[in-house]
A = this chain, B = another copy of it.
Amino acid sequence: MIQAINHGNIRELRINRPPANALSPELIIDLRAAVENAAAGAESRAIVLSGMPGMFSAGLDVPHLLTQDRAAIAKLWREFYALLHRLACSPIPIAGAITGHAPAGGTVLLLFCDWRCMAEGNWKIGLNEVQVGLPVPPVILGALHRQVGARQAEWLATSGLLMSPQEGLRVGLIDEIAAFEKVIERTIEWCKQLLALPSRAMLATRAKARADLVALFAGSLESEIAAAAASWWTEETQAALRAMVERLAAKASRR
């Protein structure tokens, strides 16, 4: 589900789980392990997180998760938080190459990266969790606030808006737009520029500049994770998630 492709000392981790690169519990665990492994070895000095052409990641695998029990959903949220924490703490830079759609959980992963480049095209990005009945948890709101400022974080998260790459760039959800066929290449190039710098100075500055992102995970997040898991089981959320899955199924059967 995660392809590791080395470009010299830059390791691309390509999410590859057709059709939607949906974040299943297994994929979440695998991605965290892949991020850890890349940083643990000496051969990789930066990570590019990418997806399939046209689909970076559709976010949590809702159709699968709707078949799961409370214990599984609780575990899912714990693992998802552990992945976000791992991204935030990565000792080596991680840049996102947004190869297509990146709604909901797709956008969330990117908030914890160093830099984000999105492919030009009719792709969508944004925290549309509220649209499907999921409240946005505080750690994710904190990372959004840090990235786009309080004013924009408030209306982006509350309205659950999905945006074009151009709108995403304007509000600061992404940092650059590249031609569709060049997005991975451009993201690798960005990493190369970082790696050409005096390493100790770059990494020390990076660590201090990201300290506020890492600090979001300070203290116990147990009650926050429990609240996110509990939300899943409310009537409203279950109904909204099921309605979404039915819409997706109807759309797929019309094809």
Residues of A that sit less than 8 Å from B by CB: 93, 114-115, 129-136, 138, 141, 145-151, 153-155, 157-160, 172, 175, 193-194, 197-202, 204-206, 208-210, 212-213, 231, 234, 236-237, 239-240
The CB with the most chain B CB atoms within 10 A, among A131, A132, A150, A158, is that of A158
* Residue pair A114, B201 in contact (C-beta under 8 Å): no
What is the bound-complex CA distance between A236 and B145, given in angstroms?
Answer: 35
Chain B residue at minimal CB-CB distance from A235:
B200
What is the bound-complex CA distance between A175 and B136, given in angstroms?
Answer: 22
Chain B residue at minimal CB-CB distance from A111:
B151
A135 contacts which chain B residues (CB < 8 A)? 200-201, 204-205, 208
A240 contacts which chain B residues (CB < 8 A)? 198, 201
A130 contacts which chain B residues (CB < 8 A)? 197-198, 201-202, 205
> 21 A-B pairs, CB-CB below 8 angstroms?
A114-B154, A129-B201, A131-B198, A133-B200, A135-B208, A136-B209, A138-B208, A145-B212, A148-B151, A149-B149, A150-B212, A151-B175, A153-B209, A154-B210, A155-B175, A157-B205, A158-B209, A198-B240, A199-B236, A200-B237, A201-B231
* Residue pair A197, B131 in contact (C-beta under 8 Å): yes
The CB with the most chain B CB atoms within 10 A, among A114, A130, A198, is that of A198
A86 CB → nearest B CB, Å: 18
A37 CB → nearest B CB, Å: 23
A132 contacts which chain B residues (CB < 8 A)? 198
What is the bound-complex CA distance between A136 and B131, given in angstroms?
Answer: 38
A239 contacts which chain B residues (CB < 8 A)? 198
What is the bound-complex CA distance between A252 and B197, given in angstroms?
Answer: 24
* Residue pair A150, B159 in contact (C-beta under 8 Å): no
